[in-house]
Structure 1
Amino acid sequence: MTNNTSIAPIITVDMQVACDNEQLPTLEQLQLWADTALKPYNKNFELTIRLVESAESQQLNHQYRDKDKPTNVLSFPFEVPDGIELDLLGDLIVCADVVEFEAKDQNKELFAHWAHMIIHGCLHLLGYDHITQDEATEMETIEIGLMAQLGYSDPYIAS
């Protein structure tokens, strides 16, 4: 007799906190949001999510993207060398100050915006982008669906 049940993928989140903000998501929240974004791909993944202040975000954004300002989320995909089997997906750097400012500025619930930033960053780690209109439409459609699964409204509709 064969067992036809599939084993759910394992998503491992390593949380690093490098800021003093009062309203940060918990590891459990980050895990839920990463699971929501990544489990549909039916693979094991490991990623680091680092929560930072504006200075670190600005330095990394300037160094890697030539943009001298902090940003909400930076994604650094891990490029696995040929012939090596690793589940390491990459790193997300999320600026708590920017996420808090954007949530308030856009009249969004703070943790809904955090969820969106984690989902958005995970999709970038998977290779999605929003440079062209077609890419943006594809990525936003996925994000809207994943946010709805979590019970959140469309993050692209202004409140």
Structure 2
Amino acid sequence: MTAPVAEIAVSLDCPAWVEALPDIEARVQSLAILALSGSPEDVPEGPLELSVVLADDKTVQALNRDWRGKDAPTNVLSFAALDDEDAPLVEGAPLLLGDVILAWETVSAEAEASGRPLADHFSHLVIHGVLHLLGFDHLDEEEAAEMEGLETRLLATLGISDPYQDEDDQQ
């Protein structure tokens, strides 16, 4: 399987990310490519572009409030450019997939509460966010099963256990 050609911009808006995961920029790059490679039939042809913003809860809470009407932080937000029918398409330019934004405090607290390594939880959420940019969702059981199954398969290639199985075991 050939990896898609993608420009992945990583913004480090919260220094705690680098302190906890010193290789985070390279990690984001490889995780995004893995997510894009996992379901080739869902990836548009040609060069792609996306951004991953490593932010804090305050930033994510403001975005969640302004764009989703939910005044609380969340672990990851995805803003898919492909959802915007008015998004400009420039011939020869990379296709903009959108933005994935992660919240440091929420992600790190979730990892600690679940007993999962931060790197594993982070990997899951980057893959999850990028899959949202490709149109995957979990609004109903069938969509959720497809998305979660793909996430689980991709994480397994990294030696990371099924995060959804772990949730079921804790209930």
Q: Could you tell me the TM-score, scaled by structure 2's length?
A: 0.82
Distance 1:134 1:82, change over 3 A: same
The answer as to 2:81 corresponding to 1:84 is no
The answer as to 2:137 corresponding to 1:129 is yes
Cα distance in 1 for partners of 2:164, 2:54 equals: 23
Q: CA deviation at 1:39?
A: 2.1
Which amino acid is 1:23 matched to? A
Which residue of 1 is the match for residue 74 of structure 2? Answer: 71
Cα distance in 1 for partners of 2:95, 2:145 equals: 28
Preserved contact between residue 107 and residue 122 of structure 2 (Cα < 8 Å): yes
Which residue of 1 is the match for residue 32 of structure 2? Answer: 34
Q: CA deviation at 1:157?
A: 2.3
- Stretches (4+) displaced over 4 A: none
Distance 1:53 1:146, change over 3 A: same
Question: Aligned ranges for residues 112-151 of structure 1 at < 5 Å?
Answer: 112-151=120-159
Preserved contact between residue 2 and residue 37 of structure 2 (Cα < 8 Å): no
Cα distance in 1 for partners of 2:124, 2:150 equals: 11
What does the per-residue CA deviation read over 1:38-86, in whole Å, with 9 as the maximum and x for residues that have no partner?
A: 0242643211100111111100001111111101110011147466343
Cα distance in 2 for partners of 1:121, 1:150 equals: 17
Which amino acid is 2:24 matched to? T
What does the per-residue CA deviation read over 1:18-45, in whole Å, with 9 as the maximum and x for residues that have no partner?
A: 1131214521100111111002426432
Cα distance in 1 for partners of 2:60, 2:68 equals: 11
Q: Between 76-85 and 21-30, report the one with greater CA deviation.
A: 76-85
2:55 paired residue among 46, 52, 60: 52
Q: How many residues are aligned here? A: 154
Which amino acid is 2:58 matched to? A
Question: Aligned ranges for residues 13-24 of structure 1 at < 5 Å?
Answer: 13-21=8-16, 22-24=19-21
Structure 2 alignment gaps of length 5 or more: none
Which amino acid is 2:149 matched to? T
Which residue of 1 is the match for residue 110 of structure 2? Answer: 102
Query: Aligned-pair RMSD on alpha carbons?
Result: 1.9
State the identity %.
40
Q: CA deviation at 1:11?
A: 2.2
Structure 1 alignment gaps of length 5 or more: 1-5
Residue 146 of structure 1 aligns to a residue whose secondary structure is helix
